[in-house]
Amino acid sequence: MNKKLIALTFAASIFAACGSDSSSNASDSDDYKREFATSISTGETMFIGTMSLDHTDDLGKDFVEVGTRAGVVYYDNALFIADLDVGSISRYSLGENNKLGKVTAKLSLPGTWVNHIYFVNEEKAYLGGMLDSLIIINPKTMKKTGAIDLSKYKDKDALVVSPGTGVIVDGRLYVGFLQNVNDYATGNEAQVAIIDVKKDKVLAVAKDDRIAAVGSLDDSQNQAFTVLDGYIYCYSNASWGYAPGQVDGFLRIKVGETKFDEKYIWKVSEEVSIKDITAKGNFKYLSPATYPSENGYVYSFLNVMVDLQQAWTDMDSYHNNTCKPVQIDLAKKKIKALPIDYSSSWASYGKYVEDDGKVIFAVSTEKDGNAYFRYDPKTDKAKKIAESEQIPMWIVPLK
């Protein structure tokens, strides 16, 4: 089937349905509750809105067009949508049944990639991206209230120091520094700044040259940092393979401390092999993982392009089915392949652990098409629960 033709046809129809920035065209009869925010892609552009897994035939209603690259975060009964093509982040209200409402506030930073928002409370948050600074905002009004200058931490060969993945624990923001020499190469050394969120002050910058830069610019859900059993596990994807020689894997920092744990390192490409999936030594990387389940696992997609004898060549490469759903035990350094087919890179962000420990995966596969699966770790079985014409990407719980 011609995916480009489907993409272009759908793009035309969804644009007519969505309008520019509201859900006014949605059917008045849609009275079911939407449980998730999601982003979907046609391969040419992206749309972000709210959805119910019981009504995927309605995907395309209550959506806004956001160009080719965007991030979405839920907080305080609102969606924060970053349109990375234009350099803006907007707060959208959610109405009855979690229908996407109007833009209630917006911050524009033309030409700037702003994809990370770290919420301190309902009236204070930080914005990170390719900025050389952390911008302090009021998330209700989206007004800038201050900034933390980070330029002195920029490496001499970097164009910008980019605050990437981050997490706030016990009054401190732990945020990865990406020393961008271009849009893709993010630095050869792991660097994490520890910031006092009351004083807006950098307390220390933890550094470790055992792996490359931790965190990621495309991780709007800040999932490349995982808080588990008193540690913050920090993941490096080694610039997605665009910087040969960089080392990928996990390090960790004990909560409250300012240095990496010298006894812990997990080099994924070097150490991980999965029968019939991937070999040790072959470059592979994980998409940002889920938050931990009750039993301590996180879930992700392992991109094994090298094992499948594929590589990045152009934008169409993101349609290649090279991403295998996996379960990860960070403490024991184990990865298990799950019984769901390989997904495309476009659909390697959509996963969510439910309250009962089951996991939803949004996938775009050769065999199953664009679909949503529910995986049960107790039975090690997965079941398709919904289908979609569009390529599903982020899936974010509205709670």
- Reported as a single tens digit per residue, the pLDDT across 373-383 is 999 999 999 99
Residue with tokens 């390697």: 348
| Cα(341)–Cα(375) distance, integer angstroms | 12
Quick one: which of 97, 172, 82 has its CA closest to 129? 82
Q: What is the pLDDT along the chain (399 residues), one digit of tens a residue?
A: 333 323 333 333 333 334 334 333 344 456 788 999 998 887 678 899 999 999 888 887 779 998 888 889 999 999 999 988 888 999 999 998 999 999 999 999 887 888 899 999 999 999 998 889 999 999 999 999 999 999 999 999 999 999 999 999 999 999 999 998 887 889 999 999 999 999 999 999 999 999 999 998 888 888 899 999 999 999 999 998 888 899 999 999 999 999 999 999 999 999 999 999 999 999 999 998 888 888 899 999 999 999 999 887 777 777 899 999 999 999 999 999 999 999 998 888 889 999 999 999 999 999 999 999 999 999 999 999 999 888 898 899 998
Residue with tokens 């919420």: 119
SS3 395: strand
Contact, 161 vs 178, CB < 8 A?
Answer: yes
Per-residue confidence (pLDDT) for residue 279, from 0 to 100 = 97
CA angle 251, 253, 259 (to 5 degrees): 105
Q: What is the pLDDT of residue 31?
A: 79
Over the stretch 83-129, which tens digit does the pLDDT of each residue have? 888 889 999 999 989 999 999 999 998 878 888 999 999 999 999 98
The DSSP result for 332-367, as a single string, is TTEEEE-SS--EEGGGSS-EEE-TTS-EEEEEEETT
Element (H, E) at 228: strand 225-228
Residue with tokens 């909560």: 255
Closest CA to 164 of 152, 173, 156: 173
302 has which bridge partners?
286, 324
Give the global pTM: 0.90
Question: What gap in Å lies between CA 33 and CA 258, rounded to an integer?
Answer: 43
Widest CA span in the chain: 58
- Helix then strand count (H, E) for the chain reads 2, 28
Concatenating the DSSP letter of every residue in 76-115 gives TTEEEEEETTTTEEEEEEE-GGG-EEEEEEEEE-TT--EE
DSSP string for 298-312: EEEEEE-TTTTT---
pLDDT at site 192 = 98
Q: Which residues pair with 119 in a beta bridge?
A: 125
Mean pLDDT computed over every residue of the chain: 88
First to last CA, the chain: 37
Residue pair 310/336 in contact by the 8 Å Cβ criterion: no
Q: List for the chain the helix, strand, coil content (%; round to 5).
A: 10, 45, 45
Model confidence over 34-60: pLDDT tens digits? 999 998 887 678 899 999 999 888 887
What is the spatial distance between Cα 156 and Cα 289, in angstroms, rounded to a whole number?
Answer: 31
Kindly report the length of the chain: 399
pLDDT value at residue 270 = 97
pLDDT of residue 43: 67
Give the rounded distance of the alpha carbon of 168 from its chain centre: 17
Structure tokens, 398? 């509205």
**Radius of gyration, alpha carbons of the chain:** 20
Spatial distance between the Cα atoms of 166 and 189, rounded to a whole number of angstroms: 17
Looking at residue 274, its pLDDT comes to 97
